[in-house]
C-alpha cells in the first residue's frame, strides 16, 4: 500500500523525501533524517523508483511496477548491462562452455557503508578483465559518492572526502563501467555485495539492469580449498603467494582477487572441472561438517571477506 501511494504521488513529478514520506506515511513534517531513511528503505528495493542527484525521488520510465522488468530500451545503457534476457538470446552457448574459454571481470568496490537500502554509495571501483589465465584490461577510478564518508570508513580505506570531492560521480562513469562489465562473468570476493552496489548505481544512473552470470571467489574457495581455516582475501592471497599492495582499496583488492581466481581456475582443471555446468555442479555440493558462521549483529561495511 505504501509503495502504491508513493507511485501515485510521484506520478506528477519528482519529490523531496520529506514531502514524499509526509504524504505516503501520513506523518506531519517528518525530520529530514527520518524521511531520507524511510524513503530509502521503502523505495530502494524497487526498480521503478530512483533517487536523483539533488536527492529527490522520481519514477523510472519504462519499468513495470513491482517487477523491475524493463519493457523498453530507452535508457542510455541497454536493459541487460551484463548479459540479461536480451544478451542471453545471442550469448547462450550452443555447447558447454569451457571455463578456459570464458572471460571474467573481477570487480571490487569501496563504499560509504554496507547498506544500499540506507543510501550508501560507491567511493571507488575497480574492474580487472581476465582471459586465458591472464589480465587483459584494468579499470579503476575514485567516485564522488555525493554524501559524506564516515570516519570509520576513512580509517579502513584511507579514502577521504578531499580525495573524492572532484572525482566523477557514478553517473559520469556509468557508460564506461557498463562497457567494461559487458560480455564477461562477474566475479568478486563476496560477490553479492559488489553486485548489489554496482547494480543499484547503474540502475540509478541509466535505468539499465545488471544481469548475467556471476562467480563468488569466497564460495569457490570453500570447495577448492576446504582445508583453509578462513577464506578471506588475505588468507587466499597468502596461500597462493599473491601480493596485495593496496589492501581495502578497490584496485589492490581487485588485482589480488583476479590472481586468486586465475589460480583457482587452474586447480579446477586438475580436478576435472572444465565447463560452466560442471562448475555449477561443483559449487552446489555442500561440504559436510561445515560449521555455520555466526552472524554478527553489526554490519561490516568495508571488510566483506567471509571467513567460512
Q: With beta carbons less than 8 A apart as the criterion, state whether 105 and 180 touch.
A: yes
Alpha-carbon torsion angle 149, 150, 156, 160, nearest 10: 40
Residue 5 has a CB neighbour count (10 Å cut-off) of 15
Pairing of strands 122-131, 134-142: antiparallel
User: In angstroms, rounded to a whole number, what is the distance separating the alpha carbons of residues 110 and 153?
Assistant: 9
Residues 198, 209 contacting (CB under 8 angstroms): no
Q: Taking CA 138 as the corner, what is the angle to CA 137 and CA 139, rounded to the nearest 5 degrees?
A: 130
Q: How far apart are CA 245 and CA 237, in angstroms?
A: 11
- The single residue of 37, 70, 248, 274 carrying the catalytic annotation is 248
Q: Are 46 and 69 in contact (CB under 8 A)?
A: no
Indicate the burial class of 294 (C-beta count within 10 angstroms; 0-12, 13-18, 19 or more): exposed
DSSP, collapsed to helix, strand or coil, labels residue 121 as: coil
**What size, in residues, is the chain?**
308
Residue 248 falls in the annotated catalytic set:
yes
Residues taking part in catalysis: 248
Amino acid at each position: 500500500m505504501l509503495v502504491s501511494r508513493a507511485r501515485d504521488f510521484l506520478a506528477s513529478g519528482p519529490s523531496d523525501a520529506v514531502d514524499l514520506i509526509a504524504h505516503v506515511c501520513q506523518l506531519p513534517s517528518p525530520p529530514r533524517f527520518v524521511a531520507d531513511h524511510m524513503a530509502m528503505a521503502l523505495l530502494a528495493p524497487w526498480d521503478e523508483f530512483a533517487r536523483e542527484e539533488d536527492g529527490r525521488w522520481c519514477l523510472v520510465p519504462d519499468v513495470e511496477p513491482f517487477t523491475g522488468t524493463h519493457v523498453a530500451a530507452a535508457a542510455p545503457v541497454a536493459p541487460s548491462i551484463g548479459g540479461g534476457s536480451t544478451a542471453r538470446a545471442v550469448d547462450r552457448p550452443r555447447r558447454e562452455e569451457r571455463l578456459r574459454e570464458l572471460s571474467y571481470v573481477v570487480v571490487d568496490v569501496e563504499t560509504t557503508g554496507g547498506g544500499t537500502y540506507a543510501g550508501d554509495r560507491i567511493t571507488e571501483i575497480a574492474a580487472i578483465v581476465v582471459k586465458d589465465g591472464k589480465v587483459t584490461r584494468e579499470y579503476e577510478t575514485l567516485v564522488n559518492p555525493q554524501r559524506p564518508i564516515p570516519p570509520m570508513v576513512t580509517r579502513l580505506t584511507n579514502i577521504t572526502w578531499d580525495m573524492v570531492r572532484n572525482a566523477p560521480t557514478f553517473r559520469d562513469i556509468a557508460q564506461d563501467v557498463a562497457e567494461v562489465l559487458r560480455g564477461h562473468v562477474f566475479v568478486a570476493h563476496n560477490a553479492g555485495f559488489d553486485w548489489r552496489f554496482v547494480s543499484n548505481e547503474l540502475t540509478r544512473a541509466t535505468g539499465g539492469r545488471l544481469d548475467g552470470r556471476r562467480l563468488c571467489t569466497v564460495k569457490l574457495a570453500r570447495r577448492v580449498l576446504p582445508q583453509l581455516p578462513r577464506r578471506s582475501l588475505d588468507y587466499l592471497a597468502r596461500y597462493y603467494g599473491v601480493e596485495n599492495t593496496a589492501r581495502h582499496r578497490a584496485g589492490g583488492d581487485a588485482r589480488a582477487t583476479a590472481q586468486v581466481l586465475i589460480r583457482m581456475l587452474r586447480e579446477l582443471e586438475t580436478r576435472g572441472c572444465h565447463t560452466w555446468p560442471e562448475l555449477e555442479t561443483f559449487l552446489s555440493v555442500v561440504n559436510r561438517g561445515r560449521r555455520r558462521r555466526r552472524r554478527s549483529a553489526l554490519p561490516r561495511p568495508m571488510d566483506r571477506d567471509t571467513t567460512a
